[in-house]
Amino acid sequence: MTDDPLIVEAGQRKVKIDLGAERIIGAEKDDQKIAVEIKSFLDDSPLADLYEAVGKFDFYHFALQKKMPERVLFLAMPKDAYEEIFFDPFYEEYRQLHKLKLIIYHPKEKSILKWIVQ
C-alpha cells in the first residue's frame, strides 16, 4: 500500500480515494499502480449503495485520468453484495459497459477473493 487515503487534485479541490496501492499483475509484467474505492454495502438496498459507489467511481476515475493517469481504479465490494447484484445479467452488462474494475473481498476474513478487470 502506498497511500491511505490517496489524495487526488480535482480542479481546485482535492478528493480522497480510500487506498492507493500497487499490485503485481504477473511475472512478465511490471508493477501496476492502482487506486481502490472500498464500499461496505451496508445500506438496506444494495442497489442504492451501488448507485452511490458508481457515482464516486466515475468521478474518481475522471480525476485520476487528469492527475494520475498511471493509476487504475478499482471498486472493492463484499462478496455477498457482488453476488446479489451482479448475478443479474443486466447489472453485469452495465459493469462491463462502464468498465468497472472490481475487487471482491470477504469482510470477516479481510481477504481478497477475486479481481475482476474486464
pLDDT band at residue 88 under the 50/70/90 scheme: very high
CB distance 34 to 62 below 8 Å: no
Instruction: Output the pTM of the full model.
Output: 0.80
The position carrying cell 487504475 is: 72
Give per-residue pLDDT as tens, 6-39. 787 777 777 776 655 554 443 334 578 888 888 8
Alpha carbon distance 9, 16 (integer Å): 9
Mean pLDDT taken over the chain: 83
**Domains of the chain with bracketed CATH:** 1-44+68-88+96-118 (3.40.1350.10)
Cα gap 86→100, rounded to integer Å: 12
* 95: three-class secondary structure by DSSP: helix
Which one has a higher pLDDT value, 73 or 118?
73
Place of cell 471498486: 75
Q: How far is CA 29 from the centre of its chain?
A: 21
